[in-house]
Every structure is written in C-alpha cells, then in structure tokens.
Amino acid sequence: MTDNASFPHTESVHGDREETTDFGYRSVPKAEKKPLVRAVFDSVAGRYDVMNDVMSLGIHRVWKRIFINALAPRRDLKLLDLAGGTGDISFGWLRNNGGPAILTDINASMLEVGRARAASKGYLSDIEFSVVDAEAIPLPDRSVDRVSIAFGLRNCTDKDAVLREARRVLRPGGKFCCLEFSRVQVAALAPVYDAWSFGVLPRMGQIIAKDAESYRYLAESIRTFPEQEVLAQMMRDAGLEKVSYQNLSGGIAAIHSGWKL
C-alpha cells in the first residue's frame, strides 16, 4: 500500500462524509492523525535515540552522515530542519561547518530533548528551536537555503503540503532533502526485514521504551509510506526540480533530493 491509495470515507455523526488517512495500518479521520502521532512521540521521546540505535542496529548513524553530505553544509547557508526531533540532523549540519539551523518539530517533547542535547554539545547559539507543523511552515517565502526532513515525512498527514511548503520557503538555488525508510529493493532482505520490524521491534519497544504499540505503529507507517518512484513524482508535482533518490542498505532507507531553481 502506498500513501496514494484510496482510503475509505466514513460517515460523521452529522451525516457528512469524512476523509480519512493512514495511521499505520489503521484508517482514521484526517483530523485525528496529528494527535495520535503526537501521543506516539510523547511516549517515546525520552528513549527515542536509544531506540533508533536498536531499531537500525546503529546503521541510522551511517545513513544520517550520508544525508548530511547530501545537504552540502556551508557557513553561508541556512538550514530548516523539519521534524528534527532530538537534533541529529541539525547537529551534523553544524558539525560539518553549516550555517545557522532552525530545528523544528510538531512535538514539543521531542524538541525539549533536542534542546537539552544541543546545550550539552554547545550548539545553542547556532540553533533556533520552534514547534512547527511541517504542513504550514511559519516562515516567509524564499527564507532558507536547505530544508531537511529525516524520518518525519511518513508521520505527516498531508505529505503533498509538506513538499509544497518546503519548496515555498527555499531560496532559488536551494535544496530539499528527505531521508526516510523506503521500499526494500533486494528480495532476499524482505522476509528478514519484515520479521525484524513486526516481531523484534515491538518487543524491544516494550523492553526499552515500555511501549510496544508505538513501535508497532512506526513499523506499519514505514510500509504505508510511498515507495521511491512515487515520492519522487510527488516532489516533482510540488514544483521541485532535478529530483533524484539514492537507496541505502538495499532500499531499507532512501534519500530523496530536489532543487528550487
């Protein structure tokens, strides 16, 4: 199933047809998804970084290094880090000589963890923190040079709106980059990956974060996310140009890039 699938419509108590969207494998009214996602990350915020290492066996650190290289940090460039959570991308950007960063997330609990980590690393003076819905970015047109979103787009209700907003706030010549779990391209990996995602991860979530259900949702949300070519076309439809993607670890994750020309 991809994000372009037609989800059923439900009848509201007033008899109106209510549009729905995916929340993992569940179909929920669109208005309910953001609170549900917020509850997931409120629950896991304190153990999120530990679970990232567990979920990916530490490989997410390699993926993020490749992603930051794709952003091509420079001191004269400004980064908007969407769904930046606990700060890995903003910190990597600054560590690689990037300019000022705006670290945003719709979830205040995640952002609090990111702020604490920034303080411990000495990055507070270079980062602006803001609770932001990526579907409605409170920045002027043409105000940043790079927009990043890492492992966050699949949790957004209106992914097309996120892509349009990313393009809007980019300056001409600016670049958008998305790092996200994607569709496995190596057939032999698929059964192992499924067993890990749906068998091991919820159990580890229960042991480490005391929350199996949130990690079951996260595994499901990966499977309902648009595959590589579909996301690339969504980016083109949003007005981004020179769109390309790079598969990582056999397609378990992918980096999509596009430019505002």
Q: Could you tell me which residues are annotated as the binding site?
A: 86, 105, 133-134
Query: CA 198 → CA 25, 61, 132, distances in Å?
Result: 12, 22, 31
Sign of CA dihedral 140, 142, 143, 147: positive
Q: Report the C-alpha gap between 35 and 13 in whole angstroms.
A: 20
Tell me the one-letter amino acid at 78.
K
| 108-121 helix and 30-44 helix, angle to the nearest 10 degrees | 40
Q: Which residues pair with 103 in a beta bridge?
A: 81, 129
Residue numbers in the known binding site for S-adenosyl-L-methionine are 86, 105, 133-134
Instruction: Decide: helix, strand or coil at residue 47.
Output: helix
Q: CA 188 to CA 31: how far, in whole Å?
A: 38
Query: For tokens 């192992």, what's the residue?
Result: 192
Q: Are strands 253-260 and 20-23 parallel, antiparallel or unpaired?
A: unpaired
Q: Which residues pair with 130 in a beta bridge?
A: 104
Which helix (H) or strand (E) covers residue 246, if one does?
Answer: strand 241-248
Distances in Å between the alpha carbon of 57 and those of 8, 114, 123, 200, 228? 36, 21, 27, 12, 23
Give the residue ranges of DSSP H helices in 140-242: 159-169, 189-195, 201-204, 212-223, 228-237
